[in-house]
Amino acid sequence: MDVISVIRTKRDRGELSPEQIDWVIDAYTRGVVADEQMSALAMAILLNGMNRTEIARWTAAMIASGERMNFDALSRPTADKHSTGGVGDKITLPLAPLVAACGAAVPQLSGRGLGHTGGTLDKLESIPGWRALLSNEEMMHVLDTTGAVICAAGDGLAPADKKLYALRDVTGTVEAIPLIASSIMSKKIAEGTGSLVLDVKVGTGAFMKNLADAQELAHTMVGLGTDSGVKTVALITDMSTPLGLTAGNALEVRESVEVLAGGGPSDVVELTIALAKEMLDAAGIKDADPAKALADGSAMDHWRRMIAAQGGDPDATLPVAREQHVVIAPESGVLTRLDAYGVGVAAWRLGAGRARKEDPVQAGAGVELHAKPGDMVTAGQPLMTLHTDTPERFDYALASLAGTYDIATAGTAFSATSIILDRIA
């Protein structure tokens, strides 16, 4: 077997054989296949796709590259959630402790930012002392004592995906549906959770730009999970507008704490509660009320214990960027559009994301929104504030915001769309 023949097969729109898939995943994990060769294969997959048989085998090979975890020793049923990535998508932060407060165990393996979308681990690392890297024993201890853990997948869990995940981020192949599905599901199946809820984003700020592609991805992942014995359901949610009022790392942590304290933006609260209900139902917990757990402080208690158990200080002051730039409304009227992609790219350019897999991120960088579609704005009013430690980034970020919002004359009718667009089970 050689990597060139594998690349040529997919380049020429052929079907990879099980033997080719098993070999190339194993060889890449061992370093026999170089990054530039896997980049070429990933681009061929992006352009020419994979059928269901190929995707299932690719996922199985990723799982087989490492170990599998087991949570049978826990006294609670397990439920996990995964988002395909969006702008301002901090839902995991309040969701994990909320579901734990309602009686399920949440083993949340999360990732870094990909392209213009933020990464849960990058956000949480803005909390002083918090650790993303835990051993399996540490992960089980945090999960057993607090009910929830958010951490990086260990080196032993689907190591092939860990390498390919970072490579996709910097080679323009993030959007490939087969690679998205296999990346997510290989980790989740190997993780050993009993049930899984998927938040599949669609819209300008998501990797899936249209509903049909999002439904295809959702069906693919639900099928992979179900066939592996994991009760899996997917919600398809709108990502045309940023979620909440912040896109960044520390900025989103701050907003997540507001939600846990019983406040926060209504769209973040709505989606958090909807996903919590799905997770609890999938775990077989029927009588819990997530809205009550937010209101009575029990979700916040679980958040504080979870952060502290991973070395973080829940009372610490979060980092603040050294420089700010305010974008003002050029006219008065109704804000009718605010493009998620433009905001996400601006946050990335300000330092909240990375251009190379080894790049650091700025904890305080990002975009803070002062208005959302449907709001009245006045000429000269702040629309958003840009945050960064490196002010030379402002012009680059502002360029990505050109044409990302529309203001109509006062009195223009505005119809808000639902966040949840479809459910696939």
- In-domain check, residue 342: yes
Cross-strand pairs, 202: 208, 238
- In-domain check, residue 74: no
Q: How many domains does the chain have?
A: 3
> What values do phi and psi take at 178, rounded to 5?
-60, -40
How far is CA 83 from each of CA 158, 220, 258, rounded to the nearest angstrom? 18, 15, 21
Residue 247: CA count within 13 A, CB half-sphere: 35
pLDDT at site 308: 98
Residues 290 and 353 occupy one common structural domain: no
As a whole number of angstroms, the distance between CA 231 and CA 235 comes to: 14
Helix (H) or strand (E) holding 325: strand 323-328
Residues 122 and 241 occupy one common structural domain: yes
Q: Give the highest mean pLDDT range of 145-159, 284-298, 405-419.
A: 284-298
The model's confidence at residue 357, banded by pLDDT at 50, 70 and 90, is low
pLDDT at site 360: 87
- Pick the range with the lowest mean pLDDT from 44-48, 273-277, 316-320, 417-421: 417-421
Average pLDDT, the chain: 94
User: Residue 344 belongs to a domain with what CATH number?
Assistant: 3.90.1170.30
Residues 98 and 196 occupy one common structural domain: yes
- In-domain check, residue 123: yes
- In-domain check, residue 424: no
How far is CA 340 from each of CA 32, 159, 202, 317, 411, rounded to the nearest angstrom? 39, 32, 11, 28, 24
- In-domain check, residue 68: no
Residue of 94, 85, 125 whose CA lies nearest to 319? 125
DSSP 3-state of 246: strand
Q: Residue 70 pLDDT more than 80?
A: yes
Task: From 260, 280, 309, give the residue that closes a domain.
Answer: 309
DSSP 3-state of 388: strand
Torsion sign across C-alpha atoms 168, 338, 121, 61: negative
Residues 358 and 301 occupy one common structural domain: no
The crossing angle, in degrees rounded to 10, of helices 250-260 and 92-101 is 30
Give yes or no for a contact between 363 and 249, defined as CB atoms under 8 angstroms apart: yes
Residue of 151, 148, 143, 141 whose CA lies nearest to 101? 148
Residues 279 and 359 occupy one common structural domain: no
DSSP 318: P
Domain that holds residue 45: 3-49
Q: What is the pLDDT of residues 163-211, one digit of tens each?
A: 998 898 789 898 899 999 999 999 899 989 999 999 999 999 998 999 9
Residues 301 and 371 occupy one common structural domain: no
pLDDT at site 414: 85
pLDDT at site 136: 86
- In-domain check, residue 401: yes
As a whole number of angstroms, the distance between CA 20 and CA 11 comes to: 14
Residue of 189, 197, 193, 182 whose CA lies nearest to 107? 193
Q: Residue 358 pLDDT more than 80?
A: no
pTM of the model: 0.89
Q: What value does the mean pLDDT take over residues 336-341?
A: 96
Residues 254 and 111 occupy one common structural domain: yes
- In-domain check, residue 30: yes
Report the catalytic residues.
82, 161, 168, 183, 187
Q: Residue 154 pLDDT more than 80?
A: no
As a whole number of angstroms, the distance between CA 342 and CA 349 comes to: 10
Euclidean distance between the first and the last CA atom of the chain, given in angstroms as a whole number: 38
% of the chain beyond a pLDDT of 90: 82
271 token code pair: 């989606």
Residues 298 and 328 occupy one common structural domain: no
How far is CA 356 from each of CA 27, 86, 261, 297, 388, rounded to the nearest angstrom? 23, 19, 36, 40, 18
As a whole number of angstroms, the distance between CA 381 and CA 223 comes to: 48
Residues in the chain: 425
- In-domain check, residue 73: no
Q: What is the pLDDT of residues 104-122, one digit of tens each?
A: 999 998 888 766 777 899 9
